[in-house]
Structure 1
């Protein structure tokens, strides 16, 4: 994973994310058409599809040899044979977008042989631009970021859903953490990377397009990003999913993994 190639890809992702933000803002607060996906997969809007079209055209024109995985594109099995692929969520946090809230993001990553090597999470309304390569620092608007120093689950601030309050998910009592949530999972990872929250966990399967960019940013900041069993996540999997997600500073991450019930995946 040569550094100059990753740097060039990061520049490409950053410019594409900014273009995506400009396009998304043309729809934001203008009542875009929206509908529910099949099988309870959540909402999608005409803005999601327009941003996806823009990103696919722009990124694939620049790197035609790369594979493609996006929430809003039909999955092409050819990606499994590609050396490098783009992993994209055109609008992560569509509910926030449709509710005219600013907490939606464009999440773009490059994956090489299962590992994320460049990633960008861009929030145009909030003017937040997170980025990292596999060999560089995690940055927020060009400045380095670090996670918190919190070491124990009890008392930690965690971005997670109500499912985490289910006693069946834990080996012992439900921890005494302080739970919050943000619509964009990619942003949740970045909020941990910059230390605004101590951890984020997802106890359901996590789609790669939601977590690829943010997991690299969190790791380059100094956190650990794993599945719910504590295993590294291998990206560009046939299922395009990870068995849950735990992201936190190293000591806190170990405490979460120790206390979570280990459901196989």
Structure 2
């Protein structure tokens, strides 16, 4: 059941934090992945291994999709699949910043039913299950009520606001950024920012948990063009992502199309 899955994910995220923090101050053995030149550390791999072993031991019939594990399409035939980013914000982790996170989710039939985003260095635990609302450290959270673009604070990279993406004119939003995409989703869910937008393809492990947390906090969550998000796909990427309260979400889509 999703509620039991949530308890499992929370416990796993807390144990992942201890595994990751044990590497702080040590040689991280940083390497760059051949596929996209993004960094990976010994901590990423150790956390991935620990999560994979513990979660699949608890749910042996679930599939597994993780940034740091070679993909096995056997996951497509399972009743449910774990979608995991062992350390989201690896560059922040390497640089000694605090804004890195563990992102853990369970998807059933293409839909995320339980999600956890945990930032150990800030002790921020975002959680959600389908139909039960979103929570931060156990208290309910909700998205902001800002409904106009000119008043909105949006989490996005600088190129997102290039004029070429906005045929109806670049909105006069206030832009900010955080290195962890999962954290950005949590910040919108708790109403500290009004929206998040990424126009680049997004890997499922970066957004699966956070997408449910935002939705359960009252956001409309779609791809960049307003289409529904589906998870545990053969190619685990989405066509960007947009999340905000319904009125603001509609305003962003109207300006982009």
TM-score (norm 2): 0.98
1:222 aligns with 2:218: yes
Q: Is the 8 A contact 2:154 2:174 kept in 1?
A: yes
Q: Which runs of 5+ in 1 are unaligned?
A: none
Partner of 1:42: 38
8 Å Cα contact 1:88/1:109 also seen in 2: yes
Deviation at 1:189, TM superposition (A): 0.4
The match for 2:206 is 210
For the residue of structure 2 that corresponds to 1:12, the secondary structure is helix
Task: Note if contact 2:152-2:174 (Cα within 8 Å) is conserved in structure 1.
Answer: yes
Unaligned runs of 5+ in 2: none
| Aligned-pair CA distance for 1:41 | 4.3
Q: Secondary structure at the match of 1:38?
A: coil
1:24 lines up with 2:5 in the alignment: no
- Aligned to 2:168, the other structure's residue is in SS state coil
More divergent stretch after superposition (171-180 vs 119-128): 171-180
Are 2:116 and 1:147 aligned? no
Deviation at 1:67, TM superposition (A): 0.4
User: Which residue number corresponds to residue 64 of structure 1?
Assistant: 60
Equivalences, count: 257
2:178 aligned residue: 182
Q: Distance in 2 between matches of 1:260 and 1:154?
A: 15
SS in 1 for 2:22: helix
Distance 1:42 1:12 in 2: 29
- Return the alpha-carbon distance in structure 2 between the equivalents of residues 150 and 106 of structure 1: 29
Question: Secondary structure at the residue paired with 2:122?
Answer: coil
Question: In structure 2, which of residues 153, 170, 188 is the aligned counterpart of residue 157 of structure 1?
Answer: 153
State TM-score, norm by structure 1: 0.95
Contact 1:139 1:145 in 2 (8 A): yes
CA deviation map 1:181-209 (0-9, x unaligned):
10110110010000000000000000000
Q: Which ranges of 4 or more aligned residues in structure 1 deviate by more than 6 Å?
A: none
Match of 1:171 in 2: 167
